[in-house]
Chain A
Amino acid sequence: MRQFAGTDVSGLTRFAKQTHPLYAGIIGLIAIELTVVAMLVVSYSYLMLTAPEWPPAGLAPAPLLWPSVNLGLLLTSMVTMRWAGNRITAGDRRGLILGLLASVSLHALVLVFRALEMAAYEFRWDDHAYGSLMWTISGFHFTHVASAIVGTLVVAILAVKGYFTPERQLGVVVDTLYWNFVSAAWIPFYLALYWGPRLI
């Protein structure tokens, strides 16, 4: 059978960003994790709505202050991440490193506040279903923030070594994508855990 050239791809980019399959893959990962988030929120709501009292007798809904501060920090870190990405597009490596480190610090602060808050819970996970949910969901989110931090630290190390250029920045792009998911995932948890009991 005769073969002839139908398409020549030698000139196509090897450094795709949004069109790169990895970008789509991270979106897939996020879709999976969002389903997990949804399942956790649904489980929480299901038990909340079928319970006679929520939280159980003698407990007040968890205080709003620190979770709200965390919400602010997490959302701000999305902005600093975005800024870091813009810097490397402009070829500014120092700006990239700075932006990454700023975002990591914001998340680290969140970890500290969350740890203090959880240490102050007046209940344990094995006291009642409410306690189980508060601890489990908090633990889930805590672990995610921690992994976003270590992942981004690795990206920062690569940045220091000069791996990223305006062309080659897929690593930064996908890390930012996942970062945004981890930060924004706090919104549904925040609403369910802290506003849910106040609104029903």
Chain B
Amino acid sequence: MEERREAPTRERRSEEHQEPLHPAIEDDAEETRRLTETWAAPTGFVGWFMPVNQRIIGRRFIVTAFVYFVLAGLLGIAMRLQLAAPENDLLAPEIYNQFFTVHGTAMMFLFAIPVLEGFALFVVPMMIGTRDMAFPRLNAFGYYVYLIGSGVFFLMLLVGMAPKAGWFNYVPLSGKLYEPGLGVDIWTTMITFIEVSALTAAVELIVTILKLRAPGMTLNRMPVFVWASLVMAFMIVFAMPAIIVASSLLILDRLVGTGFFVPEMGGDPLLWQHLFWFFGHPEVYIILVPALGMVSTIITTFCQRALFGYTAIVMSIVATGFVSFGLWVHHMFATGLPHLGMSFFMAASALIAIPNGIQVFCWIATMWGSRMRLATPMLYVLGFFWVFVMGGLTGVMVASIPFDLQVHDTYFLVAHFHYVLIGGSVMPVIGALYYWYPQMTGRMMSETAGKISFGLVFVGFNVTFFPMHQLGLEGMPRRVYTYLEETGWGELNLVATIGSVVLAAGFATTMVNALASLRWGETARRNPWGAETLEWATESPPPPYNQRHIPVVKSREPVWDWREEDERPVVVGLRSDRREVVVTSMLDAEPQAVQVLPGPTIWPFLSALAATVGFIGILFHPVFFVVSFFLAFFSFVGWFWPRRPWQED
């Protein structure tokens, strides 16, 4: 296993550290107690609205996102039941339209992005060896905004006023003329809300990753998952504003009669499509990139050897980030844009296969000849390979314009994007859930249930979505609530529906497993998988301060180094009576300063409420714009006002 690691051997290290012999540090129980006290999160009902610790917020994101996964999954099953037989009348057309819109929107905005953010918020600070995010309160704010926004959006379904214009909400279909009522209004405002939450998480992640890494963790020693989270965060920063602008313009069109998307007034519906896909395409990679980081992490651990081609993998991740911004037009091939431009985007669409291919080869090289341990996380990664490669293949097919024009808006597309989304993202995420569960709860999830769940998901998934390729080629359009007997699509649809029930059973097994293991799971040992990264260099679950000492890092696999050397260097000199973390330089992670982090507070929650009053109020009266401006102002002052005694030093 050591062939590829340039870990310093015992001899080399003792040479380096001969003079002066470093005295060992003994942990003082009194100081440990004080650390616990300083970093503890408040409890009780009011306390629930106050914590700012990164692991608590990250866990909330993950749990909430999985709730939406289940809800939106149920909608998917309902649609499949409706389509099981021709001219079925389980769901009325109105309802079917609401269902696919809410299913798509919820899966993309309420589940996929938040769950990956959640994992990043939960794992990254521990992986880089620090104790919290750089802006803990902002982190909490992001969560409440997400919770409120997504909750309001989903409630619309219960009262029968959900939007019906599809997850990309094209104008003019989403204009006042075809979609009166509150549905689309809520869609636009709540999407903006959720994007704000994503943006706060992104800024947090970028700054935390660039400034709070453990001393010695230079950029090229950073774990791949951290790289992936960094790239995801940058993509969010440059992609999300487009959708915020787009939905703000749309809400203005709907509320005060502006004409951005109205041709008679000199506006242009295509503007919506450009803005939406300028965000929408990177969005797919925002979901994909961190999932690929999870795959790298899991492979390294379960093959017990350093990742082959670290540099190549990091470069591919970064390249994916850049190229994905050049792809938006490929969603609009059917709109009749100028030819030269179209060819450019067609080339770019095919180009994105290259960095992804490189990563796949590096993973194969890592796994080649290793003694792989086939635990559940690794099984999900293997499942990911198969499904993702299939999705990639159909992706290259639809990137070619002549083919795209054929299958545009058919079930071929539905099959393609479920292959990419479930294969590329959901499977690694489930694997990651099994993998990091011990750090979230202190227990292990059941392996038996995990293997059953994987089997059901893998079979169910392919049975559900593979036939849709054929249905698409036979011409079955997407977004129809039923089809005629004579089309002959009945059998394949029935197969797909049966598959979807199996698939759902697979996901349900994992969800039940996660809940049951809270109570009955085996207690986790320290570093149960034998991983190499810093989130495992502490107990399971970690104490509120994450690590007793912030470590000093000398390679890409610090935990394996310490395993060999049986000693490790750590940071000393941080105070334990307030929340202090080390700030290091961006490239080389040299210690530069100490940041004093704020403690628990209610202000982020109040600020989120202020924003809610504004965003929802605006739908009813413009004066709420001014009201919320001042509410937000006061809550921000409360948030930032320095507490006495002003931190003296």
Contact = CB atoms under 8 A, between A and B. Distances in A.
Interface of A: 1-16, 19-22, 24-25, 28-29, 31-33, 35-36, 39-40, 43, 46-47, 50-51, 56, 125-133, 135-136, 143, 146-147, 150, 154, 158, 163, 168
Given A19-B592, A46-B268, A128-B265, A4 B23 contact: yes
A20 B573 contact: no
Contact of B258 (A125, A143, A146): A125
Contacts of B596: 14
B24 A43 contact: no
Interface stretch (B47-55, B210-218, B603-611): B210-218
A7 B572 contact: yes
A131 B260 CA distance: 10
B552 A51 contact: no
B262 A19 contact: no
B268 A9 contact: no
Please report whether the interface of chain B is mostly helix, strand, loop or mixed according to DSSP. mixed
Contacts of A21: 134-135, 207-208, 211-212, 583, 595
Given A32-B237, A128-B265, A6 B592 contact: no
A24 B584 CA distance: 13
Given A14-B649, A32-B241, A35-B241, A4 B24 contact: yes
Contacts, number: 198
Interface in B159-207: 199, 202-204, 206-207
B244 A36 contact: yes
Contacts of A126: 256-259
Nearest to A11: B573
Interface in B245-270: 245, 249, 252-253, 256-260, 262, 265-268
Given A39-B242, A47-B267, A5 B257 contact: no
Interface stretch (B30-38, B147-155, B428-436, B560-568): B560-568
Nearest to A167: B649
Contacts of A51: 266
B574 interface: yes
Contacts of B552: 6-7
B271 A132 contact: no
Contacts of B595: 14, 16, 20-21
Contacts of B204: 25
B549 interface: yes
Contacts of A158: 642
Given A14-B580, A50-B268, A131-B259, 12 more contacts: A5-B569, A5-B571, A6-B570, A10-B572, A10-B574, A14-B594, A21-B212, A24-B207, A35-B241, A132-B252, A136-B258, A168-B646
B477 interface: no
28 contacts: A1-B568, A2-B24, A2-B566, A2-B568, A3-B25, A3-B569, A3-B570, A4-B568, A5-B22, A5-B571, A7-B215, A7-B572, A9-B591, A9-B594, A12-B594, A14-B593, A14-B647, A15-B649, A21-B207, A21-B583, A24-B211, A25-B204, A31-B237, A35-B237, A47-B267, A47-B268, A126-B259, A129-B268
Contacts of A24: 134, 206-207, 210-211
Interface string B577-613: 0001011010000011111100000000000000000
Given A9-B594, A129-B262, A1 B567 contact: yes
A3 B585 CA distance: 24
A7 B24 CA distance: 13
A28 B24 CA distance: 41
B227 to A, nearest CB: 18
Nearest to B593: A16
Contacts of B516: none
B633 interface: yes
Contacts of A3: 24-25, 549, 567-570
Interface in B214-253: 215-216, 237-238, 240-242, 244-245, 249, 252-253
Contacts of A133: 260
B207 A28 contact: yes
A3 to B, nearest CB: 5
Contacts of B585: 19
A126 B640 CA distance: 39
B478 interface: no
B241 A39 contact: yes
A117 to B, nearest CB: 19
Contact of B633 (A15, A28, A150): A150
Contact of A12 (B211, B249, B259, B592): B592
Contacts of B240: 32
Given A14-B649, A20-B595, A163-B646, A5 B267 contact: no
Nearest to B647: A14
Given A3-B25, A24-B211, A150-B633, A43 B258 contact: no
Contacts of A25: 134-135, 138, 203-204, 207
Contacts of A11: 573
Q: Which 3 residue pairs spanning A and B have beta carbons closest together?
A: A6-B569, A10-B573, A6-B552
Interface in B527-561: 549, 551-552
B572 A9 contact: yes
Contacts of B551: 6
A24 B411 CA distance: 45
Contacts of B562: 1
Nearest to B552: A6
Contact of B572 (A8, A31, A127, A136): A8
B646 A129 contact: no
B577 to A, nearest CB: 13
B6 to A, nearest CB: 19
B116 to A, nearest CB: 19
B386 interface: no
B5 interface: no
Contact of B238 (A4, A35, A150): A35
A2 B24 CA distance: 6
B176 to A, nearest CB: 12
A40 B637 contact: no
Contacts of A8: 571-573
Contacts of B571: 5-9
